[in-house]
A and B are shown apart, each in its own frame.
Chain A
């Protein structure tokens, strides 16, 4: 169903140039709508939120060439360029939990700071390790174009 919707939208913009911005927004809205229908199907113990499903759906649509890059990239790149601003309300949301911060805020902030660095460094070096294994143990190609 959703795929058909998207296919018709792709056909309406057959030219090589970018689709009109309203069409691009329409594609995003359609994907969000379908994702919001799928998200409640997951059990409460295994939550998968709407935007995560939406990311997967858009990736599948792009990879299967149902949606072309020119149908979505103008609006998508614009949204990505806004991401830091879109996080401002999340940051200000901390105003609602100032009492938690008062109670054990310093400890929590220290743990969160360390956890952030740990996640970044451990994941990065674990990956480097697996790439090294691929190259030196399994002798498979590790070259990528920049």
Chain B
């Protein structure tokens, strides 16, 4: 009797939770957005707390902790519901995740403000900025191409690595056009940001990147996208402004340079 009630309880609670998360067949279309928003906030705030008590240990950066912990929690939930992580992610997390994700639109636009605050630098160095981004990207493409070959990626993998300097929305279609896997490219763009966010301060110091503030800003914006721009703003107003301009200009440069580069290297 006792065991029976326990199982019955489990079933009731499981159904309730499944309905709430939108993972049951009945609730699948509804997809409660609050779970995704709540989970994102909780894992990020936990990351902030961990970063604080960890005295700023770089692997405890809130974005990195939030990402790993969030995926792990989704993995556990998926196991508990007897489904795979990707399916559970799509039905339970994505509706809420998309709402937060949407706010990257106004947040990206907002980088026009630090850009404009140092308009004096933009006006004075616009030619150097554009030339540096074009030449810097072409050199980087060669390095990334040969590193990928050395590590043993196939042509699909290499093509997926080429457009990652651009913002995700540009990088993905370009990757598709040159024979890459768009999901891998999206992953690259995300990891770029996470890596710059976690290791940015250390990399800047180690490679003495900040000896030239304009270069530091352009580099951070190219490597870390909008997250790189936020990092650059912490270094100073010139760096922040330069990173903001890099995000825009490098995306357009990738648009123009990567397809011919890919055909030159025989990827397409």
Residues of A within 8 A of B (CB): 25, 28-29, 31-32, 35, 44-52, 54-59, 62-63, 69, 72-73, 75-77, 79-80, 82-101, 104, 107-131, 134, 141, 144-146
Interface status of B184 (Cβ within 8 A of chain A): yes
With both chains docked as a complex, state the minimum distance between the C-beta of A129 and any C-beta of chain B, in angstroms: 8
- Chain A residues with CB under 8 A of B223: 116-117, 119-120, 123
Given contacts A92-B89, A95-B74, A115-B161, contact A123 B107 (CB under 8 A): no
A107 touches B70 (CB 8 A): no
Interface status of B233 (Cβ within 8 A of chain A): yes
Of B9-17, B18-26, B52-60, B136-144, the one with at least 4 CB within 8 A of chain A:
B136-144
Apart from A80-B107, A86-B107, A116-B195, list 16 A-B contacts with CB within 8 A: A47-B255, A52-B169, A62-B113, A77-B113, A79-B107, A93-B89, A93-B97, A97-B183, A98-B86, A101-B187, A115-B164, A117-B223, A120-B203, A126-B135, A131-B212, A146-B236
Given contacts A112-B191, A123-B219, contact A76 B132 (CB under 8 A): no
Given contacts A95-B86, A95-B93, contact A87 B193 (CB under 8 A): yes
Interface residues on B, range: 35 or more
- Chain A residues with CB under 8 A of B143: 118, 122
Given contacts A92-B74, A125-B215, A126-B135, contact A59 B187 (CB under 8 A): no
Interface status of B262 (Cβ within 8 A of chain A): no
- Chain B residues with CB under 8 A of A32: 105-106, 109
With both chains docked as a complex, state the minimum distance between the C-beta of A140 and any C-beta of chain B, in angstroms: 9
Give the most central of B40, B108, B133: most A CB within 10 Å.
B108
Chain A interface mostly helix, strand, loop or mixed? Answer: helix
Show 5 A/B contacts (Cβ-Cβ < 8 Å), sorted by A.
A51-B108, A91-B194, A99-B86, A111-B153, A122-B143
**Contact among B114, B131, B186 with A80 in the assembled complex (CB-CB below 8 Å):** B114
Contact with A along B39-76 (1 / 0, CB 8 A): 11101100000000000000001111011001100110
B112 touches A62 (CB 8 A): yes
- Chain A residues with CB under 8 A of B214: 127, 131, 144
A114 to B152, CA, bound (A): 14
Residues of B within 8 A of A (CB): 36, 39-41, 43-44, 61-64, 66-67, 70-71, 74-75, 85-86, 89-90, 93, 97-98, 100-101, 103-117, 119-121, 124-125, 128-129, 131-133, 135-137, 139-140, 143-144, 147-148, 151-153, 157, 161, 164-165, 167-170, 173-174, 177, 181, 183-184, 186-188, 190-197, 203, 207, 209, 211-216, 218-220, 222-224, 226-230, 233, 236, 238, 244, 246-248, 251-252, 255-256, 259
Give the most central of A99, A114, A123: most B CB within 10 Å.
A123
- Chain A residues with CB under 8 A of B112: 54-59, 62, 76
With both chains docked as a complex, state the minimum distance between the C-beta of B254 and any C-beta of chain A, in angstroms: 10
B233 touches A80 (CB 8 A): yes
Give the most central of B110, B132, B207, B230: most A CB within 10 Å.
B110
With both chains docked as a complex, state the minimum distance between the C-beta of B50 and any C-beta of chain A, in angstroms: 14
A4 to B66, CA, bound (A): 42
A66 to B183, CA, bound (A): 40
A123 touches B121 (CB 8 A): no
B110 touches A76 (CB 8 A): yes
Chain B: CB-nearest residue to A128: B212
- Chain A residues with CB under 8 A of B111: 55, 80
- Chain B residues with CB under 8 A of A73: 113
**Contact among A58, A98, A128, A146 with B109 in the assembled complex (CB-CB below 8 Å):** A58
A73 to B136, CA, bound (A): 31
